[in-house]
Amino acid sequence: MPPALIHRFLDLGGGKNAPFVFIPTAGDADQYDEKWLGTKFLSKAGAEHITILHTRDRKVADSEEFVAPIRKAGGVWFGGGRQWRLVDSYLNTRTHKELWKLLDRGGVIGGSSAGATIQGSYLVRGAREGNTIMMAPGYEQGMGFLRNVAVDQHLLKRNRQDDLVPVIAKHPHLLGIGIDEGTAIIVQGDTAEVMGDSKVAVYDAKYGTGPDGKKYYFLNAGDKLNLASRRRL
């Protein structure tokens, strides 16, 4: 990720001196201690107070003690891995509720790979059997910070640009957002701004088929999209 993206995340979370939480639960390790190097990109950008928050026990995720760091945080970052692990641990728990409260008080939630996809209301690639399955019964609900949205990632790097097409065909009320590596959308209110080195693809059932024969179109760095009206600004 370009340094500018990380600095923007830190700024939105209150600056380098603010408390931040990193949730690595999408990864495959059972434990993550404070020496784990996965948070290095945040500390390298200047973050001084990072708490690693991790459990695979929903009862723990539902406890007051576990969510205490989120209540103090200016921002939370979800690491990459497999989406279903985040669903199993946190969906509809006290942790999930506190993340909503973080947004309500003006905090920021970011994430890469699985940590980006989990933020949509519809979850793609959630199957335990493998991440090539786009629609997996039992794992189709994300955390919903982006309402009526499905988020895919590693878009061009892994040649995934056509993978959201059948999802939107089956669920035409959804807006599909495909994000390439080194790229992000910064969402404030209904406005999403593209930032980074590559592109973001937009999948809208009302768009139909473009002049290039594709059922999606691309946004570049600096482009903005109204997520409610689905119009480019």
Rounded Cα distance between 210 and 227, Å, is 19
Q: Are residues 104 and 14 in the same domain?
A: yes
Q: What is the pLDDT of residue 146?
A: 97
- 119 lies in some domain: no
Number of domains in the chain: 2
- 122 lies in some domain: no
Q: Which of 95, 112, 129 is the last residue of a domain?
A: 112
Across the chain, which has 233 residues, the per-10-residue mean pLDDT values are 95 98 96 89 96 97 98 98 98 98 98 98 97 97 98 98 98 98 97 97 96 96 97 94
Q: What is the pLDDT of residue 34?
A: 80
In the sheet that 75-78 helps form, which strands lie side by side, from edge to edge?
49-52, 19-23, 75-78, 108-111
Q: Are residues 98 and 189 in the same domain?
A: no
Rounded Cα distance between 148 and 174, Å, is 5
Q: Are residues 228 and 184 in the same domain?
A: yes
Domain ranges, residue 64: 1-112
Q: Are residues 13 and 67 in the same domain?
A: yes
- 121 lies in some domain: no
Q: Which of 87, 112, 137 is the last residue of a domain?
A: 112
Q: What is the pLDDT of residue 233?
A: 93
